[in-house]
Amino acid sequence: MSLPSVLKSAWAKPVVHLLCLAPLLFLIGSAFADALGANPVEKLTHESGQWTLRLLLVTLALSPLRQWTGTAAWIRFRRMVGLYTYFYCCCHFAIWFIADHSLDLGDMLEDVIKRPYITLGFSAFVLLLPLAITSNQAMIRRLGRNWKALHQLVYAILLLAVLHFLWLVKADYLEPTIYAIIGVVLLLHRVGPMKRFNLKSFTAAR
């Protein structure tokens, strides 16, 4: 079965749903098994944050994959993965808000103002909200050309999320650096020569 056929199949979206839910199910299972380590709240906070960033990168990678492989069906999953990105971001925020601030809005806002890396993360969370709200077809039709302009906020969100992660870590910068490099490659695809790159054409040329 060819790649386009797999991506267009009826079971492709359910599989993607399961893949996106897998990290959450794993964390829930680990919590019930008391396998989250010495600081379960910190583990849940970090894992939900990292999966937010990973899924954001996957969402941004789908358009380049369409271009590079010449297979338009990748776009079928962009809205779904984007909404899962927001879901994990909400989980990340909720864990931090409940565990660190006991749902005290004033204390939370004070933390946002005083701690720069939290300012960055909170800004990314706020910017994701209008993208999630306007991800349906009705909003796309209503906003028209403004929809695309609004959704370009995703590039600012990516920058904020990567900087949030980089600022958070104390010693091992390898993982956030890898995410930053992937993000740069995905952004360059929108503006540089990579925008015209097509894997099928490249293979045929060789």
pLDDT at 80: 96
Q: Are 12 and 80 in contact (CB under 8 A)?
A: no
The pLDDT of residue 195: 56
Of the candidates 103, 72, 104, 79, which has an alpha carbon nearest to the alpha carbon of residue 8? Answer: 72
Q: Distance between terminal CA atoms of the chain?
A: 24
Following CA atoms 27, 91, 178, 127 in sequence, which dihedral angle do they give, to the nearest 10 degrees? 170
Which residues of the chain fall short of a pLDDT of 70? 1, 192-206
* Amino acid letter, residue 132: A
pLDDT of residue 110: 95
Q: Of 28, 95, 89, give the one whose Cα is nearest residue 55.
A: 89
* Structure token pair of residue 188: 């360059």
The predicted pLDDT at position 204 comes to 47
Neighbours of 71 (CB within 10 A): 19
